[in-house]
Amino acid sequence: MAVTRRALLERVLQGIGVGVVAGGVDRALADSQVEATGQASGPLTVRVSRPFDAETPVREFTSWLTSNERFFVRSHFGPPSAEAIQPESWRLTVKGLVKDELTLTLPELKKFDPITITAVLQCSGNGRAHHRPKVPGVQWERGAAGNAQWTGVRLRDVLQRAGVKPQGLHVQMQGADRPALPTVPLFTRSIPIAKALHPDTLLAYEMNGRPLPLLHGAPLRVITPGWMAESCMKWLTEITLRADETLGYYMQQAYRIPETSIQQGSGLPGSVMVPVEQMPVKSLIAAPGEGDTLKTGPVTIQGVAWAGESPITKVEVSCDDGKTWEPARLVGEEQPYAWRQWQYLWNARQVGPTAILCRATDAQGIQQPEKSPWNPGGFLWNGWDRLSVMVAA
Ligand SMILES: Nc1nc2c(c(=O)[nH]1)N[C@H]1C(S)=C(S)[C@@H](COP(=O)(O)O)O[C@H]1N2
Ligand SMILES: [Mo]
């Protein structure tokens, strides 16, 4: 089995253009996280090599869709064993507070009505590296996010087939991935029934029109559009209806934020912590790039903006380090849950170093803050995006 797992992981890493890490990939399956240098390797910037956590270089965000090969990867233990997700033997079970327990094969699942939704996926830790004081954990910068088309069936339809009992208020999700050590808790999460029954919440088997890649949860994953990616369970095998939120580390300790803002760096005993859910309003500059040298004259600045379940109504750009702001042009059509591309034509006149910033506003009138409120997990960073450039004659 170890051989199968190793061969599988090797294929996966090579398939996305990442060289197999020195020392062999078997250690990639260990629980200990090995910090990488943050250097570009193939199409992704590797943050942790074992298990493989890597972010998308933001220049990719000049495209509306983020390709499967360049989509950020985050998992706690690495992909499951090949046996656990073999198409022939793979099953999805639905149990707990339901009238009829279900066991579905992939072909059976695909008989429900298919739908496709374009949605941003973003890790709650994206931008953790910007929090001050510094927060331990994967030091994600800007690219633990991406926009993709997800095809699958409605979680609602599957739940309705099983018949949710009135006491079933939370939907627990379990994937086939397992920690190497039995003492490490499983990555088990739950979402409230309202989000699970929302017609846009998916069990997805395709990403950008292709079979869901192994690193992104093959054969089936949950997509909760507009919500942080921690509820987008990969390698899904089990759904359990429960009366309460899932217990255990990944729901009760990790991925929680203070309900109200707290003092920077405080230990906060007593403060109420709630699970991360909605994605807050955020924007990024995709081009030019950090440290670029630009010529005087017209410069196209472009990027993306998104706000979870809320549309983007405005993006502003500053080319003088935040002194003055100008509205950017929103490109294309608004699509719920997808990001919105934007452009700004800057006439660069003054030679020398400057900083370019952007900030977005959503339909509720909420504007990106200059800096996000500090929190102990370093989650939900959505401060103004900022890059330094040099203007040369
Ligand atoms: N089964 C399983 N699902 C998982 C995870 C995991 O470790 N195991 N990681 C979650 C986290 S923390 C994130 S940010 C997203 C990342 O999705 P991606 O790798 O497809 O970008 O998957 C989520 N789903
Ligand atoms: Mo994450």
Upper half-sphere CA count for residue 149 (Cβ side, 13 Å) = 11
Distance 229 CA to ligand 2 centre (A): 6
Q: In whole angstroms, what is the distance from residue 123 CA to residue 228 CA? A: 6
Between the alpha carbon of residue 22 and those of residues 28, 179, 363, 388, the distances in Å are 10, 21, 48, 34
* Residue 349 token pair: 């006149």
| Cross-strand pairs, 372 | none
pLDDT for the residue numbered 271: 73
Span 204-262, pLDDT tens digits: 999 999 999 999 999 999 999 999 999 999 999 999 999 999 999 999 999 999 987 65
Residues of the chain with CATH 3.90.420.10: 38-254
If one residue of 53, 232, 235, 276 were mutated to test the ligand 1 pocket, choosing by the most ligand atoms within 8 A of its CB, it would be 232
* Residue 166 token pair: 């009135």
Residues of the chain with CATH 2.60.40.650: 282-392
If one residue of 65, 75, 202 were mutated to test the ligand 1 pocket, choosing by the most ligand atoms within 8 A of its CB, it would be 75
pLDDT for the residue numbered 103: 98
Q: In whole angstroms, what is the distance from residue 177 CA to residue 77 CA? A: 7
358 lines ligand 1 (CB under 6 A): no
One CATH from 1.10.287.90, 2.60.40.650, 1.20.1640.10, 3.40.50.300 for 282-392: 2.60.40.650
| Cross-strand pairs, 54 | 46, 73
pLDDT for the residue numbered 39: 58
pLDDT for the residue numbered 346: 98
Whose CA is closest to 287, among 302, 269, 267, 271?
A: 302
154 lines ligand 1 (CB under 6 A): no
pLDDT for the residue numbered 259: 86
187 lines ligand 1 (CB under 6 A): yes
Distance 235 CA to ligand 2 centre (A): 15
pLDDT for the residue numbered 177: 98
Q: ω into residue 269 within 30 of 0, thus cis? A: no
Q: Helix, strand or coil for residue 41?
A: strand
If one residue of 123, 150, 206, 237 were mutated to test the ligand 1 pocket, choosing by the most ligand atoms within 8 A of its CB, it would be 123
- What top-level class would CATH report for the domain 38-254? alpha beta
Enumerate residue ranges in the chain where pLDDT < 50: 1-32, 263-264
Q: What is residue 139's DSSP assignment? A: -
Sign of CA dihedral 257, 262, 263, 264: positive
Span 293-333, pLDDT tens digits: 999 999 999 999 999 999 999 999 999 999 999 999 999 99
CB 374 within 8 A of CB 265: yes
